[in-house]
Amino acid sequence: MPPSKTEAAYRLLKSQIEDLTLPPGAKLGEVPLAERLGASRTPVREAIRRLAREGLVRFAPGEVAEVAPVSLAGVRALFEFRQILEPAAARLVTRDGRTDPERIAAFHSLLPDLRAVRAGIDEAGPAGTDGPADGPADDRRAAAVRTFHALTERFDQALIAAVRNPPLAKTIADTRGQTARLRAIAHAAPGRPALSLGEHLAMTEAVVAGDPDRAAGEVARHLTATLDTVMTALTRGDLPASVDVRM
């Protein structure tokens, strides 16, 4: 069954906010959006309200809705929150996987895919080593990075699905919209996707190995590295889009 018009509008707008096609501060007028999406204003309005509940859109009094701005304080607060939630979730999932292997089956299937992408990036070598820009190695590297983006999504969804604690799983899921667009900023930094790939591989290996402390530690290290990369990009203005950064 195809999604409803509201659901379709929500998915499209959320995707464009997460990948920064609609950057922070972009105006979300109902009429132009409805025309662009080929929908009436009602489903667009409902989609915008749903995104507002997720913290991705804000309403200013007397103004049209806009994509929520990125603030340095907000980024720090989000990652402080994630540092509480996600290492704890990884610890619980890894512990439960010792007695219930099916609970971590998604991590077992993810592991060879992460290793394959790592091998592809290693084979391509550092950027620019095969001569002209956009040469064969760069094409292979770009394809591997695109695959890796899908694998990070699989890791996040596997963690959420495997947590036995429903409030914890829901709270992690609720942060994903804001996390996704910050990931787009982080992965725009030169070399960061390859480093993040190594971090995801280490996290997945720890879960599969049944080592709760190691799993929690690897997740914490990944979040710290991601925060450092995002904060550097925001403070230097080295951004992949016109991002409205506020204190």
Residue 245's pLDDT is what? 56
pLDDT above 70 (res 1)? no
- E strand or H helix at 245: strand 245-246
In total, the chain counts a number of residues equal to: 247
Q: Which is higher by pLDDT, 134 or 206?
A: 206
List the structure tokens of 127.
Answer: 């950027």
Residues whose CB falls within 8 Å of the CB of residue 91, separated by 6 or more in sequence, listed in order: 212, 213, 215, 216
Residue ranges per structural domain of the chain: 5-69, 71-240
Closest residue by Cα to residue 159 from 220, 86, 100, 225: 86
Q: Where residue 96 falls among pLDDT bands split at 50, 70, 90? A: very high
Which residue type, as a one-letter code, is found at position 96? D
Q: In angstroms, rounded to a whole number, what is the distance separating the alpha carbons of residues 118 and 13?
A: 31
Residue 126's pLDDT is what? 58
Write down the CATH number for the domain with range 71-240: 1.20.120.530
pLDDT above 50 (res 6)? yes
To 10 degrees, the CA torsion angle through 80, 82, 85, 91? Answer: -110
pLDDT above 90 (res 179)? no
Instruction: Write the pLDDT tens digit of every residue in 121-173.
Output: 777 665 543 344 455 656 666 677 678 888 999 999 999 999 999 999 999 99
Write down the CATH number for the domain with range 5-69: 1.10.10.10
Please state the rounded mean pLDDT for residues 103-118: 95
